[in-house]
Chains A and B, each alone.
Chain A
Amino acid sequence: MASLASEDGRAQRPSDHEGFLVHKRFRWLKVALALSIVAGIGYAFADVSPRPNGGTWYGYALGTLGVLLIVWLSLLGIRKRAMTEGRWSLKAWTSAHVYLGLSLVVIGTLHTGFQLGWNVHTLAWALMILVIVSGIYGVVVYATLPEKLSTNRGDMSKKEMIEALGAIDRQLESAAQPLPREESDLVIAALEQDAFRAGVLARLTGRYPGCRTERARAAFAADRDRDEHEERVFGLLQRRCAQLGQIRRQMRLRALLDIWLYVHVPATVALLGALTAHVISVFYYW
């Protein structure tokens, strides 16, 4: 019996890692869902005239709730710089950030009463949607890409990747010494091209049509009768291509993981600005 109990005890031990999405058995998902449903029911039954919008009592209520949520959600940027544990751990905070952020789609849109137009009010709404959509992308890539990143890296660190490329380059340099002018130029061109001088588009797509290493490799491959030196250089170019491939896959995954923040963060700040303008303008012209 005792051994059974201890087995049970081990089986029930919480796992070491629990992602922010499933934190506390989806506590914040439930809170956000409840919030959205209550807002929806209120919208359907609130006695407002002549029709629902931000200027009715229910509209003001939803608007106040929305502003508080937006300000709190944007504070994650400050909060994440201090890691703590427990009930108000960063993980709990992130979990709440994601789910309450999603509930803003319902709260913010009901606040508009579906009256959208070309004005600063709709600008705030549109920025909010942009922030949320980019956030959804962020959650998706954070859930899927780190595993790929780890697979691609294998047992190498980023530093090792760079050093491996450096080692190949130095060997290429010395191996290419006996080569004639034209072939040397191909090798120089390949060596001079910085692997990290890649644009955003190239990084995101993983396509490098201007890769000179690939061009040199193709030129050597086309040479049917390679002598001993050319064979060595060809081998090194192939290794360089493979090493570049790994680095570029790493850069692509990294870029896919990072790019959304370039939308999410500035759009959040712009949203706070538009929200301020929205609130002030509404009461300025009350």
Chain B
Amino acid sequence: MSFRIRQIQTTATGREIVREREVTGDRLTIGRSAENDVAIPDLAVEQHHVVVSRGEGRALAFEAAGTLGFTLDGRTRTSETVRDGGAELVLGAFRLDFAAGPGEEIEVTVRRMEERESGAGAGTHGFRLTSTWLPGKRPVAWALLIAIFLAFLAVPIWTNLGREPVKPDYRKPGQTAMDASWSTGKLSLAHHGLEDNCEACHVQPFVAVRDGACLTCHEDIGDHSAKPRLSLARGPLSWGDQVQRDIADVFHKPGAGACTDCHTEHEGEGRMQPPAQKFCADCHGSMDKRLKTPLGNAADFGKAHPQFQAAVLTGQGDRTPTRVSLDGNPREFNGLKFPHELHLSASGGVAQMARRLGAGKGYGETLECSDCHRPTADGVRFQPVDMETNCGSCHSLVYDRVGGTFRTLRHGDISQMRADLAAADRVPRRPIASGRKRPGAYSPGGLYYGNFAPPQRASVPLASRMLSTRGVCTECHFPSGDGVMPVVQPKRYIEHGWFDHEAHKREKCTTCHAAPASDSATDVLLPGIKTCRTCHLGESAAKPKIPSTCAMCHSYHPRGDAAPARVGKDADERKSQT
């Protein structure tokens, strides 16, 4: 058993000097002292540092002789055994390579190490991700930052500032590039054409949308009221609203009464959302305190809304209606004697008549509202009742029969009626309705024939009798002068509120109109606000009640006879119906 020690030294010129010697025995001492089998001239090494002893076969046991450890195969140890005779011992700046040589010999090569000598060459940074292909955090961050600034700031702002000043045209796309990425949401249906034309409304950078931008297209929109009156009507702001207003003023946001106060855009496709009732209630909620007005305060349909005021012809012969509250139980004079109760009764003559005329003529068991009242084409209101079509099937104006033809009085034209009657020949003729004929010898010409009928009057009546208090005309009309009083059927009772019968057609007429109990034509059969409130309450109403904002019935911008420009869901429904 022996160790072959090979000590390698390198000269200044780089030449290697190898000294070989043999140490017999199964023990090898290593240290700085010259007494050792292998002397290492390094101050970091102890005088007696390591003892290597041979074990079975090629096993080597390394044992620290002093207190300091040693580095064996890269690990710091004080005691270690290797089985196959191969090991690498590092002491200070020296490396000792142990390897099994021929026979029982163990070769030990001693050399001074280079400055740095390790597996991967460099330090430990190879453990980190920085040594991979992964791009560094900084370059990625910069690239992203530049890309975002270019695409979402530089390009839109550059093209926006450099655009040609032209009048906005919703049929053309705008000149600003890539500003679609700035859109906070789709425009409403009405403004859909402006989707690619942001600068049509956003005219100046950093200036909130002004009314002028809206009025470029909506030039004919009417004002709710004159400007000074509007300002007067607007109530004092709440603390929170005042703060908001002040902040908005600091940023020059267009103030109270601007289009954008009520109309907000970029809320998504579909119809514009109806303005909240708060916008109306701000003024109308307590307007009587600030303004002289016949209008009652209104803030919420369910909680604070005055009774309806209907335009009613209150006096005989009135031509212009007066607005009266339904609370005052107003009487209306329209020139007709028409008790609804009589006509809608399930028993009695009218019902009997309807039954006799039968389903063939469109009648049921009793007279229905729809037998006389026909809706207009749009379904919103009802056509005026027409004598010939609606009354005439029962209230016949036939006065004569010539052969198989009936002659009927001209309705609505008294002079014509007089002329017709005056010109009629008055030859006695068979009555329009004869008595029952009796059979056999009792029949006319028979032995026992007898005529017990009242004596025949002149077959055609006189106009004066028709117009007299017991005449056929005065069954329904009031005599006046040499004719009858004119009949007025108002088209609309509520002029500033909108009611759509079409939207309510699933309800029965009598749910709202108390016609079956009305025994006089002077009854105003309009339902009061209480009736509406059985279904409709204010904006915050919870199901099953219907949340009803002001915009459901009223329009801010004056619209005359047209329906309020309601927006939102109900407008869609209305569109599809008409």
Which residues does A use to contact B, with CB under 8 Å? 47, 49-51, 53-55, 57, 115, 117-121, 123, 155-156, 158-171, 174-175, 194-196, 198-200, 203, 231-232, 235-236, 239, 247, 250-251, 254-255, 258-259, 261-262, 265-270, 272-274, 276-277, 280-286
Contact = CB atoms under 8 A, between A and B. Distances in A.
B144 A273 contact: yes
Contacts of B207: 286
A49 B260 CA distance: 12
A196 B120 contact: yes
B92 to A, nearest CB: 14
Nearest to A204: B129
Which of A49, A200, A203, A258 is packed against the most chain B CB atoms within 10 Å? A49
B119 A262 contact: no
B137 A119 contact: no
Contact of A200 (B99, B129, B202, B206): B129
Contacts of B276: 49-50
Given A239-B73, A285-B182, 14 more contacts: A50-B275, A51-B273, A53-B184, A123-B152, A162-B120, A163-B74, A164-B119, A165-B74, A195-B120, A200-B134, A203-B132, A251-B127, A266-B140, A281-B181
B310 interface: no
Contacts of B73: 164, 167-168, 171, 239
Interface stretch (B80-88, B297-305, B419-427): B80-88
Contact of A171 (B97, B117, B184, B253): B97
9 contacts: A50-B273, A53-B184, A121-B184, A175-B99, A232-B86, A262-B134, A270-B144, A282-B184, A286-B208
Interface of B: 71, 73-76, 83-84, 86-88, 90, 97, 99-100, 117-120, 123-124, 126-129, 131-134, 137, 140-142, 144-145, 148-149, 152-153, 156-157, 160, 179-186, 198, 202, 205-209, 240, 244, 253, 264, 267-268, 273, 275-276, 278
Contact of A120 (B137, B141, B182): B182
A286 B251 CA distance: 11
B50 to A, nearest CB: 16
A161 B74 contact: yes
B157 A194 contact: no
A120 B273 CA distance: 24
Contact of A194 (B83, B120, B184, B240): B120
A163 B118 contact: yes
A55 B240 CA distance: 16
B422 to A, nearest CB: 70
A128 to B, nearest CB: 13
Nearest to A274: B148
Contacts of A232: 84, 86, 100
Contact of A119 (B182, B205, B240): B182
Contact of B141 (A168, A255, A266): A266
A266 B146 CA distance: 12
Contacts of A198: 132
B81 to A, nearest CB: 14
B184 A119 contact: yes
B184 A159 contact: no
A284 B99 contact: no
A256 to B, nearest CB: 10
A196 B126 CA distance: 6
B243 to A, nearest CB: 9
Contacts of B84: 231-232, 235
Nearest to A256: B129
A277 B129 contact: no
Nearest to A247: B127
Nearest to A57: B244
Contacts of B148: 120, 123, 270, 273-274, 277
A218 to B, nearest CB: 20
Contacts of B140: 262, 266
A119 B180 contact: yes
Q: Which 5 interchain pairs have the tightest Cβ spacing?
A: A164-B74, A196-B126, A166-B119, A269-B141, A163-B74
A161 B268 CA distance: 62
Contacts of B126: 162, 195-196, 251
Contacts of B180: 119
B127 A250 contact: yes
Given A196-B126, A199-B133, A286 B184 contact: no
A281 B145 contact: no
Contact of B145 (A123, A162, A169, A270): A270
A281 B156 contact: yes
B99 A171 contact: yes
Contact of A285 (B132, B186, B202): B202
Nearest to B267: A50
A118 B133 CA distance: 32
B148 to A, nearest CB: 4
Contacts of A55: 184, 264
A29 to B, nearest CB: 28
A284 B74 contact: no
A267 B124 CA distance: 28
A158 B124 contact: yes
Given A162-B124, A254-B127, A281-B156, A120 B181 contact: yes
A170 B97 CA distance: 9
Nearest to A116: B185
Nearest to B144: A270
A74 to B, nearest CB: 11
B119 A200 contact: no
Contacts of B157: 280, 284
Contact of A163 (B87, B119, B149, B185): B119
Contacts of A250: 127
A65 to B, nearest CB: 15
A162 B118 contact: yes
B203 to A, nearest CB: 10
Contact of A269 (B83, B145, B185, B209): B145
A117 B202 CA distance: 20
Contact of A266 (B71, B144, B160, B240): B144
Given A49-B278, A159-B124, A262 B137 contact: yes
B474 to A, nearest CB: 59
A285 B179 contact: yes
Nearest to B107: A174
Contacts of A285: 179, 182, 198, 202, 205
Which of A50, A158, A267, A282 is packed against the most chain B CB atoms within 10 Å? A50
A251 B127 CA distance: 5
B74 A119 contact: no
Contacts of A57: 244
Given A50-B273, A200-B133, A262-B134, A159 B123 contact: yes
A280 B97 contact: no
B127 A273 contact: no
Contact of A51 (B75, B119, B133, B267): B267
A265 B181 contact: no
Nearest to A49: B276
Nearest to A199: B132
